[in-house]
Amino acid sequence: MEAFNKIETILSEIEASEVNSAEMLEAFRIKYLGTKNMIKPIFAEMKNVPNDRKKEFGLALNNLKKVAEDKYSALKEIISQQESDREKESIDLTLPPDSDFTGSRHPVSLVMNHMINIFEKIGFVVEEEREIEDDWHNFTAMNTPDDHPARDMQDTFYLKNSVTNLLRTHTSSVQARVMTRQEPPIRIIAPGRVYRNETISARSHCQFHQIEGLYIDKDVSFADMKQTLLYFAKEMYGPKTEIRLRPSYFPFTEPSAEVDVWMGTDTDITYKLTKGTGWLEVLGCGMVDPKVLENCNIDPEVYSGYAFGIGIERSAMQKYDISDIRLLFENDVRFLKQFSSAL
């Protein structure tokens, strides 16, 4: 029977076929398993096979198909193993790394590290603290009463199933942490991330970074604070930098002020950042409220001090001409790569 012979021929062909590359494997697949494979047309010959041998013919055909499939999977395994061996051999571990893959620091880290260095030079010590806080350290100790709007669920992220645990809304919580465990003199800065439930836009985000400063000792004055902040501004923005202090209000300081640095309105970025005034608000500050000292068991009759909180993002945006705060949190490599030379 001719049809039976065809099956036999293909069977021995398959068994004898040698495959030693991915291309040959693909050719094998097309020939025996592809949509126009050479086994398919033999199925049509069923009609020429006498009835008493039809069953035998069917079994032989199905067997042929299975042999082709099994051989293909076995070959596939061998070829992929060979390829991975070859790849391993071709990696030269003695070559120097590709310089295109040099990492870079995030612009927020660059600015934050710069600020830390400035304060370390005049004796401030870095304190790092938790981002999940309780409301005593974040609000109560900092003289922010229970009914203060800052505690509103609108502004604060409370942890699920908790009325006391929250994501700190400012680094001022570190003041309370340090003052309750350390006796004056205290001279610390606390850099870190803070969170607020705010609508995300080009100018504001629900997470950002601050550096808190705190100095507590005998006879610390408002003039001491002003000199320290002027020194900071000149180191940060250049020796000719001018600052201005505007009276302000914070629950934890009395008196309180906000400090602006003169940027001008020459570029689009400075115009936008300063809302057209030329003055960039960089920090809040003030003399630590006696109530805060009392809350933390420090005698306000003996000690006084100042505190300040600096926002990092706006300075980073001004320094690197970044017009949208969201870029700082998207971790787009194309954006981050641009800072590799800024190290």
Per CB under 6 A, the list member of 237, 250, 279, 303 interacting with ligand DAH is: 250
Closer to ligand DAH by Cβ: residue 191 or 309: 309
Per CB under 6 A, the list member of 141, 307, 312, 322 interacting with ligand DAH is: 307
Piece of the chain touching ligand DAH by CB under 6 A; list 22-30, 32-40, 183-191, 283-291: 283-291
Closer to ligand DAH by Cβ: residue 184 or 309: 309
Interface characters, 205-234, with ligand DAH (x: CB under 6 A):
-------x----------------------
> How many residues bind ligand DAH, per CB under 6 A?
11
Query: Shortest gap between Cβ of 89 and ligand DAH (angstroms)?
Result: 58
Bridge-partner residues for 192, per DSSP? 210
Which candidate, 39, 35, 47, 29, places its Cα nearest to that of 6?
Answer: 39
Closer to ligand DAH by Cβ: residue 170 or 177: 170
Which residue bears the tokens 């020194």? Answer: 231
Closer to ligand DAH by Cβ: residue 14 or 169: 169
285 counts as binding ligand DAH under rule CB under 6 A: yes
Piece of the chain touching ligand DAH by CB under 6 A; list 5-13, 21-29, 79-87, 301-309: 301-309
Closer to ligand DAH by Cβ: residue 195 or 250: 250
In angstroms, the Cα distances linking 297 to 32, 182, 252, 286 are 86, 10, 15, 20
28 counts as binding ligand DAH under rule CB under 6 A: no
Query: Shortest gap between Cβ of 160 and ligand DAH (angstroms)?
Result: 24
Which phi and psi angles does 101 have, rounded to 5°?
A: -100, 15
Per CB under 6 A, the list member of 28, 32, 215, 308 interacting with ligand DAH is: 308
Piece of the chain touching ligand DAH by CB under 6 A; list 178-186, 222-230, 307-315, 316-324: 307-315
Closer to ligand DAH by Cβ: residue 28 or 215: 215
Query: Which bin fits 327, alpha (ψ -120 to 50), beta or left (φ > 0)?
Result: alpha
Give me the half-sphere count of Cα atoms (radius 13 Å) on the Cβ side of residue 103: 3
Per CB under 6 A, the list member of 138, 143, 144, 172 interacting with ligand DAH is: 172
Interface characters, 175-204, with ligand DAH (x: CB under 6 A):
------------------------------
Closer to ligand DAH by Cβ: residue 172 or 315: 172
Per CB under 6 A, the list member of 137, 170, 177, 209 interacting with ligand DAH is: 170
The answer to whether residues 323 and 317 touch, using CB atoms and an 8 Å cutoff, is yes
303 counts as binding ligand DAH under rule CB under 6 A: no
Q: Which of residues 87-126 bind ligand DAH (CB under 6 A)?
A: none
User: In the complex, which residues of this chain contact ligand DAH (CB under 6 A)?
Assistant: 170, 172, 212, 250, 253, 284-286, 307-309
